[in-house]
Amino acid sequence: MLQALDKNAERWALLVFYVMLVVTMAVEVLRRELFSYSSIWGEEIVRYSFIYLAWIGAAAAVKERGHIRIDVIMHYLPPRAKALLYIFGDMVMAAVAVIAVYWSWETVMVSAKFGSVSHGLRVSMIWFLLAVPIGFSLMLLRLAQSFLRDLRALRDGTPVYEGDKLFD
């Protein structure tokens, strides 16, 4: 079960938020065009679904090495140098993610202290502000997995995982 969760957790979360976004947006467009009426909560659901999509999608991209990058130099490096460069990149990104988790968690705690709620849904803002620390925490998990995978490649001298290529 853990293996299936490790493989598909982000995919399922992305699917849920994407469906929520598309269905809510379609309903709101129909309501606005057919009934000349729109709700205040529909816009918020779409906005916050998109925010969760972005942060969970970033973690999924870290897992698959799917972030946009310029890797011209990587084609000319031997496997060990590639692994070292990827390890360095993962360490830098992990440092950024730790800082982001710290400061975004601080924002969540301030919101909890003052009890702020969203305007349309009247739901605690904590649930929406948690998107950032959740996304960066998932990134830290995926960076740790990537780091271990790259260390194995460096130790064994095998080619490092570079993600699936969109164009070759």
Domain that holds residue 38: 2-156
Residue 117 belongs to a domain:
yes
Instruction: Kindly report the three-state secondary structure assignment for every residue of 66-120.
Output: CCCCCCCHHHHCCHHHHHHHHHHHHHHHHHHHHHHHHHHHHHHHHHHHHCCECCC
Can you tell me whether residue 124 is helix, strand or coil?
strand
Contact 111, 126 (CB under 8 A): yes
pLDDT at residue 166 is higher than 70: no
Q: Is residue 36 part of a domain?
A: yes
- Inside any domain, residue 26: yes
Place of tokens 């976004």: 21
Note whether residue 81 is domain-resident. Answer: yes
* Residue 6 within any structural domain of the chain: yes
Residue 167 counted as domain residue? no
Q: Whole-model pTM?
A: 0.86
Task: Please tell me the total count of domains within the chain.
Answer: 1
Q: pLDDT at residue 165 above 70?
A: no
Supply angle C-alpha 141, 59, 118, rounded to 5. 110
Section 35-59 average pLDDT = 92
User: Does the residue 52 lie in any domain?
Assistant: yes
Please choose, from the candidates 99, 77, 90, the residue with its C-alpha nearest in 3D space to the C-alpha of residue 146: 90
